[in-house]
Amino acid sequence: MTVYIFFMLAVLAVGSALAMILNKNTVNSALFLVINMVSLSGIYLLLQAQFLAVIQILVYAGAIMVLFLFVIMLLNVEDEEKLFDKFRFKYFLTFLLGAALIGQIFYSIAGAADMLPEISQSMVTVGTVEAVGDVLFTQYLLPFEMTAILLTAAVVGALMIAQHKIKKEEA
Amino acid sequence: MVGIDWLLALSATMFVIGMIGVLIRRNAIVIFMCVELMLNAVNLSLASFSSFHGNIDGQILVFFALAVAAAEAVVGLAIIIAIFRNNLTVDVGQINLLRW
């Protein structure tokens, strides 16, 4: 059963990713990215990582994508008139590079197939909120606090960059 | 549950789609979304290794990667707004102030 759900979610994730990069309308691209993230969160649930699934929806599909949509609406950029207006060497090269990269990764996965881990027995307990919080607030407490400082610095920096320049008029 | 090779293959596919998107698109916002997609793909492989090993550290790393991605999205979008205010475009082909 989980196998079918996994393949459904995987097809949804890859399809929405493809639709995202091939869509002319920026808002539609952002919404396809939301679909992609929701299906990834379903895959996290299949991996018994409930905390990550919730965080993926809350932070990515909630906060970050809303931020993206805000910026898209704020800038009000018009659609790109044509994605592939004429055949360019660049597209060909890009496709070639992508095919080479995915070929390399698949080759290395296939080569290491006997070294890959099997499903661990403790998988059901490893991803719960309790387990994550237990480790996060003891062993990884310092990085966690550093994350808070990083987010504060990011917010202050974004305000500094994005605000209007206040012209100082000499009276 | 499927084997971990399928999860790694899905992660690789999404990463490559994101990379192709970064290379072919000219809208800076879409390029940024493709970077988020690549981050997500790597997060997926981290989480699947973590679950299959039965070791929580990978999921903690995904959590920190998510926090960094949020910070990066905020600053990057602020930079895009600042560029748009100066150039009235987010087409990366026309933003060539620093081009040699």
pLDDT tier at A116 (50, 70, 90 boundaries)? confident
Chain B residues in contact with A85 by the CB 8 A cut-off are none
- Assign A80 to helix, strand or coil: coil
| Residue B96: DSSP 8-state | -
Give the pair of three-digit tokens for residue B33: 């979304």
- Give me the mean pLDDT over the A25-44 stretch: 93
- B54: region left, alpha or beta (phi > 0 left; psi from -120 to 50 alpha): left
Q: How far apart are CA A40 and CA B84, in angstroms?
A: 32
pLDDT tier at A171 (50, 70, 90 boundaries)? low
CB nearest B67 (choices: A56, A83, A147)? A147
What ipTM did this prediction achieve?
0.91
Percent of chain A with pLDDT over 70: 91
Q: Do A161 and B78 touch (CB under 8 A)?
A: yes
Q: Do A120 and B57 touch (CB under 8 A)?
A: no
Beta carbons within 8 Å of A35's beta carbon, 6+ residues apart: A12, A16
DSSP letters spanning A81-95: S-TT-S--HHHHHHH
Q: Is B38 on the interface with A (CB under 8 A)?
A: no
Q: Find the closest chain A residue to B14 by CA distance.
A: A14
- Give me the mean pLDDT over the A111-139 stretch: 82
A36-94 pLDDT, tens digit per residue, is 999 999 999 998 889 999 999 999 888 999 999 999 988 877 766 666 666 678 888 88
Confidence check: pLDDT of B16 > 80: yes
Chain B residues in contact with A7 by the CB 8 A cut-off are 2
Mutate to test the interface with B, among A23, A31, A47 (most CBs of B within 10 A): A47
Q: How far apart are CA B27 and CA A150, in angstroms?
A: 28
B22-79 pLDDT, tens digit per residue, is 998 888 999 999 999 999 999 999 999 998 888 889 999 999 999 999 999 999 999 9
Percent of chain A with pLDDT over 90: 51
Give the pair of three-digit tokens for residue A32: 């396809």
Confidence check: pLDDT of A170 > 60: no
- Global pTM? 0.89
- Give me the mean pLDDT over the A98-103 stretch: 93
Nearest to B25 by CA among A94, A43, A45: A94
- Give me the mean pLDDT over the A150-154 stretch: 94
Identify the burial level of A143 via C-beta atoms within 10 angstroms of its C-beta, where 0-12 means exposed, 13-18 middle and 19 or more buried. Answer: middle
Q: Find the closest chain B residue to A131 by CA distance.
A: B56
Determine contact, residues B60/A135, Cβ cutoff 8 Å: yes
Q: How far apart are CA A132 and CA A80, in angstroms?
A: 43
